[in-house]
């Protein structure tokens, strides 16, 4: 993903406008108070909020912004679709699939993001914004 992002950004931004680094979210090695925006797009659930949020506030300049962006799946269009999807996800935790999933990877509930951010005491304001987007697709796209 990083290689693709670097490729796409190489012609979009002036030299040094984007800096790439490899580090854990709670130990970025980025200088204190050196960035204006920190984003976690579809990834905050893989980060320990107790150690990541203090690191985010350490690297943000005063007045900087942190955003955690998530998409809810499936869209709540038909109750039957949502129930079937939730059953499919629950079945993925069955022991018979342990060899093909990331069983050793820790994740945190997306539903707790806002509460974790508020509870951290790292930010003066924490709020949730919701946006809706409709996309066309078929079974192949959903499965793919």
* Whether the predicted model's global pTM rises above the 0.85 cut: no
The pLDDT value recorded for residue 67 is 95
21-70 pLDDT, tens digit each: 889 999 999 999 999 999 998 899 999 999 999 999 999 999 999 999 98
Q: Which domains does the chain have, with CATH numbers?
A: 2-72+107-128 (3.40.50.150)
Q: Which of 18-27, 63-72, 127-136 has the lowest mean pLDDT?
A: 127-136
- CA 23 – CA 20 distance, rounded (Å): 10
User: CA dihedral defined by 32, 37, 42, 48, rounded to 10 degrees?
Assistant: 30
The pLDDT value recorded for residue 24 is 93
């Amino acid at each position: 993903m990083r290689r693709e992002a670097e490729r796409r950004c190489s012609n979009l931004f002036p030299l040094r406008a984007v800096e790439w680094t490899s580090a854990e979210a709670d130990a970025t090695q980025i200088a204190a108070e050196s960035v204006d925006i920190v984003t976690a797009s579809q990834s905050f659930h893989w980060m320990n909020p107790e150690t990541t949020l203090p690191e985010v506030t350490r690297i943000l300049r005063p007045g900087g912004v942190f955003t955690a962006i998530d998409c809810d799946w499936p869209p709540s269009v038909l109750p039957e679709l949502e129930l079937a999807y939730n059953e499919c996800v629950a079945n993925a935790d069955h022991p018979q699939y342990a060899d093909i999933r990331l069983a050793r990877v820790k994740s945190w509930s997306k539903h707790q993001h806002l509460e974790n951010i508020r509870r951290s005491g790292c930010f003066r304001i924490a709020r949730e914004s919701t946006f809706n987007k409709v996309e066309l697709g078929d079974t192949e796209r959903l499965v793919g």
